[in-house]
Structure 1
Amino acid sequence: MNGTKRLEKSYEVMFISSSDLSVTRDTYQRELNSRRVREIAESFDERVANEPKVSARDGRFYVFDGQHTMPARKLLNGGRDLPILCKVYTGLTEQDEAVLFAEQTGISAKVYPGSKIRALVFGGDPDAIAFVEATESAGLHLSFNQSRGLKHIGCVAAAYGEFMSAGADLYTEALRVIAAAWDGHKYSLRAETIQGVTEFIKLYHDEYNPKRLISRCRRYDPMHIYRRAKAAGDSLPAPQRYIFEVWNIYNGTSRANTLPLKF
């Protein structure tokens, strides 16, 4: 954060034509949301609007905060280019821009977890990079746009929280169990399942049998943990109710392999 604060001070305010402003979307930026642009334009007030944050790099101006307010201003100008007052930063690398984009705050559009982590990965954040590597070592991938698919995790924030809480080894172990049990089915990669299995493994790491857990999970629908936890309502707080469902699956009716309730 200290580096970010230093970078925040190194800017000057100047007018730049919208025709000269670029957005890099093939590395860390989000795709342009046309609906978001229209919503901003409907209630836009230049008197209270924030200036777009721009990086002057390689002879061009790259917008790293304000990519939706910029076209909203142009929309209100009848689709014609216009001068826009910007905060222009100098001396930033594209990686610096990515980190600032990920850490932006205020009334701008929310930086969704997938976009934020994607930006942190591009910016070289060691935890974010280790998170991606741990996920892929389990044969799975992260969907930074929050979409679900075969072997693709859309609940990036929940997965990242488990990675940071459990550590790379236990997080990877949990993903491997899930992937082996349900063959990477998209519904098995919901937040509830990832949290339940990871937290279960944290609690019972030295006691449970991974092969038994995989075999037992295979007997159930990929949505089982989610559905059972939802039906239980608030009888237990999350993630305890997800752990409880994994515990129930593991124990089944066996007495020889029963694990004690620890939560």
Structure 2
Amino acid sequence: MRTSHTSAYQEMMINSKLLEVPRGSYQRELNAKRVRKIAAKFDPRLVNPPKVSYRNGHYYVFDGQHTIAVLKLLNGGRDLMIRCIVYTGMTESEEALLFAQQAGEAAKLTPGDKMRAMIYGGDPECMAFLKATESVGLRLDYAQRRGKHRIGCIGTAFEEFKRVGADLYKEALSLIVAAWHGDPESLRAETIQSVTRFIELYRQEYDPRRLVSRLHKTDPLTIYREGRAMGVNMAGYKKYLYQVFCIYNGSSKKKVLPMKF
């Protein structure tokens, strides 16, 4: 038996009927289509043992639920003995954090999967990101589907939060909400990133009321459509930032901001 940090672990053969997947907390749903796809090209030599936490008399799978499903499928749907790496002495929060750090072989973690697990595990930066997002009336959609007042572009939003800090991130989101009232199309990655960067660039110069008013009069898809239409004429996020810049300035002669990017 070996020890990692405060947890001991060892390889064990465990009957699959005893392996529990904590989907009600930090785990994602099983992707049956992916399971069938993996099973069709299965090579037992490439299998990584599922990682399991033995806690309160139960074996909780925190990495490898798709591997277990594949092995059962190939066994005619019947339970079987599976070689696992079993950890002892872990809390559920520690399991969640380890889950967020391990992608396994069967299904790569999405930003939503990882964020949900990190938040469940109590990661301070992720918890601060969640608090900042919810403070402006929005929520994170871990399944990453845009919806009314729901952010699906979790990876982009989190990167902006880390880059500019909570205050500027909240300022950008609050203005987007004020302009479009949580319209799903206003919560695209391109819009969140471009509005955040506009505020960062012009924080001491722009008028928040003017920005909200100008955005409100604009179809929320405009930033995405017009930016994409620019093709390679402007690189990366700048072509979407340019749309926010143009929307803000409009045809005004007095309140025009200078182009800084």
User: Please, what TM-score do these two structures have when normalized by structure 1?
Assistant: 0.96
- Return the letter of the residue paired with 2:191: T
Equivalence for 1:152:
150
Within-5 A mapping of 1:1-263: 6=5, 10-105=8-103, 107-263=105-261
Q: Is the 8 A contact 2:35 2:106 kept in 1?
A: no
Structure 2 SS opposite 1:237: coil
The separation in 2 between residues aligned to 1:79 and 1:108, in whole angstroms, is 18
RMSD: 1.3
How far apart, in 2, do the equivalents of 1:28 and 1:233 lie?
39
The one-letter code matched in structure 2 to 1:190 is R
Equivalent position amino acid for 1:208 in 2? Y
Residue by residue over 1:16-50, the C-alpha shift from the partner in whole angstroms, topping out at 9 and shown as x without a partner, is 00000000011111011110111121111222200
Q: Pick which of 105-114 and 53-62 moved more.
A: 105-114
Which amino acid is the alignment partner of residue 184 of structure 2? Answer: K
Distance in 1 separating the partners of 2:223 and 2:4: 43
What is the CA deviation profile of residues 166-191 of structure 1, one whole-angstrom value per residue up to 9, with x for unaligned ones?
A: 11000001001111111100010000
Alpha carbons 2:54, 2:60 under 8 Å: kept: yes
Following superposition, the deviation at residue 80 of structure 1 comes to: 0.5
Alpha-carbon distance, 1:5 to partner:
6.1
Deviations 1:65-91 (A, max 9, x none): 001110110010001100000000111
Quote the Cα distance in structure 2 between the aligned partners of 1:252 and 1:217: 11
- CA shift, 1:192, in A, is 0.2
Structure 2: unaligned runs, 5 residues or longer: none
Tell me the CA shift for residue 108 of structure 1.
3.9
Could you tell me how far 1:241 is from its partner in structure 2?
A: 1.1
Number of aligned pairs?
Answer: 259
TM normalised by structure 2 equals 0.96
Letter in 2 for 1:141: R
Give the Cα separation in 1 of the matches to 2:34 and 2:11.
25
- Paired letter, 1:245: Q
State which drifts further: 146-155 or 41-50. Answer: 41-50
Distance 2:58 2:105 in 1: 26
Change (3 A) 1:94 1:246: same
Question: What is the SS of the residue equivalent to 1:145?
Answer: coil
Partners of 1:155 and 1:105 in 2: CA distance: 19
Gaps of 5+ in 1: none
Stretch moving more, 106-115 or 32-41: 106-115
Cα drift, residue 140 of structure 1? 0.7
AA partner of residue 148 (structure 1)? R
Structure 1's consecutive aligned runs of 4 or more residues displaced over 2 angstroms after TM superposition are 4-7, 105-108
1:106 CA drift (Å): 5.4
Give the secondary structure class of the aligned counterpart of 2:30. Answer: coil
State the identity %.
55
In 2, distance between residues paired with 1:172 and 1:163?
A: 9
